[in-house]
């Protein structure tokens, strides 16, 4: 009986850990879902046969601890089924089912721990009294009040899954059946649980960077120059960004390449290589912001840096000779 009590306390502890992880953990993208689902299914099958075996041996030997462990394995089987539900939910675009499944697993563990604990405490307090073990005879299915409580917890967990937090440096957009209904500001908010509504959150203050890569461009005086831009940007309008942008890096690279090509095509090589850097950067930023705004991307260009502006290697020696000749003339 004492070992059975220890098992029940351990079950309670595991249930609290699961609840803490479910409510406090961040949403992560599941990978290798088919393999995880197959592993969960195998775990359910193994726990089923292990539970039956432990309970059978415990009844034959009169070991309360072994029977308690058998019903613990049975709860593991039900938890495994809950995990499968969560995995399938994420596979079909309902990631919130993962947390709901975790809460279901917690409830099942708590029920198992409660029944094991109360029955063995009763057995220790009344050693000469024959006790009918409800978890032996019926498991948690025999307790109607407990089933009603479990159902209430599941409904409450489903409704509470709609609570979410938007941090001070974030913006959120709520979609109802895929249609945008509103944009949300920082704070604690509520949405209808999945699959009715879902929220997408973006970091609106994080400055990100993308480079165009080296381009060989033709200047206004028909010279060649290698140019590379570094573009720093942030998300200024979450709704436009989530609706109109799929890959912001490719979008910004294309816009920056178009902008710098037009600027270089109107400039002379000497201007680009000497005093024109600041003006080129300002012109590229203005042109790129115009492109982002025209297409309603929700992206703001913070700065543009001209990190490379050199003649191609094939003509570099000629430019060096020209620079030397100019110095000699001066």
More confidently predicted of 195 and 280? 280
Planar angle of CA 196, 165, 97, nearest 5 degrees: 40
**pLDDT, position 288:** 93
- Res. 209 pLDDT band, cuts 50 70 90: very high
**pLDDT, position 176:** 85
Asked which of 141-155, 159-173, 175-189 is least confident by mean pLDDT, the reply is: 141-155
Tens digits of per-residue pLDDT, 77-92? 777 776 777 676 666 6
pTM: predicted TM-score of the whole model, two decimal places = 0.55
* Residue 320 predicted with pLDDT over 80: no
How many contiguous H segments (helices) and E segments (strands) does the chain have?
11, 9
Residue with tokens 């009040």: 145
Tens digits of per-residue pLDDT, 258-273? 999 999 999 888 888 8
Q: What is the mean pLDDT of residues 242-251?
A: 87
- Cβ atoms within 10 A of the Cβ of 5, count? 20
The secondary structure element, H or E, covering residue 44 is helix 33-61
**pLDDT, position 31:** 64
How far is the C-alpha of 9 from the C-alpha of 242, rounded, in Å? Answer: 47
* Residue 9 predicted with pLDDT over 50: yes
- HSE-up of 62 (CA within 13 Å, CB side)? 0
- Res. 132 pLDDT band, cuts 50 70 90: very low
The secondary structure element, H or E, covering residue 273 is helix 269-273
Using CA atoms, how far residue 80 sits from 106, 136, 188, 204, 267, in Å, is 12, 21, 32, 39, 67
């Amino acid at each position: 009986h004492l070992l059975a009590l220890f098992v029940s306390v351990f079950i309670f502890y595991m249930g609290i850990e699961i609840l803490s992880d479910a409510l406090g953990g961040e949403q992560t993208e599941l990978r290798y879902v088919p393999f995880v689902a197959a592993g969960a299914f195998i775990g359910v099958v193994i726990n089923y046969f292990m539970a039956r075996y432990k309970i059978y041996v415990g009844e034959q030997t009169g070991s309360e601890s072994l029977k308690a462990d058998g019903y613990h394995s049975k709860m593991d089987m039900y938890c495994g089924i809950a995990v499968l539900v969560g995995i399938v939910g994420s596979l079909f675009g309902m990631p919130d089912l993962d947390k709901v499944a975790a809460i279901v697993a917690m409830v099942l563990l708590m029920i198992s721990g409660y029944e094991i604990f109360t029955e063995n405490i009763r057995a220790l307090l009344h050693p000469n009294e024959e006790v009918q073990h409800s978890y032996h005879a019926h498991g948690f299915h025999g307790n109607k009040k407990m089933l009603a409580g479990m159902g209430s917890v599941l409904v409450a967990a489903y409704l509470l899954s709609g609570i979410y937090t938007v941090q001070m440096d974030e913006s959120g957009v709520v979609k109802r059946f895929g249609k945008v209904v509103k944009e949300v500001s920082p704070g604690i908010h509520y949405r209808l649980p999945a699959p009715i509504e879902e929220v997408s959150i973006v970091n609106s203050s994080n400055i990100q960077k993308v480079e165009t890569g080296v381009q060989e461009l033709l200047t206004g005086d028909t010279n060649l120059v290698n140019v590379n831009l570094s573009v720093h940007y942030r998300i200024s309008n979450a709704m436009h960004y989530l609706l109109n942008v799929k890959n912001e890096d490719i979008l910004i690279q294309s816009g920056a390449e178009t902008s710098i090509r037009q600027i270089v095509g109107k400039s002379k090589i000497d201007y680009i290589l000497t005093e024109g850097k600041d003006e080129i950067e300002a012109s590229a930023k203005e042109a790129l912001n115009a492109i982002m705004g025209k297409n309603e991307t929700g992206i703001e260009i913070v700065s543009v840096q001209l990190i490379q502006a050199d003649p191609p290697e094939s003509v570099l020696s000629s430019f060096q000779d020209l620079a030397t000749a100019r110095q000699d003339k001066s």
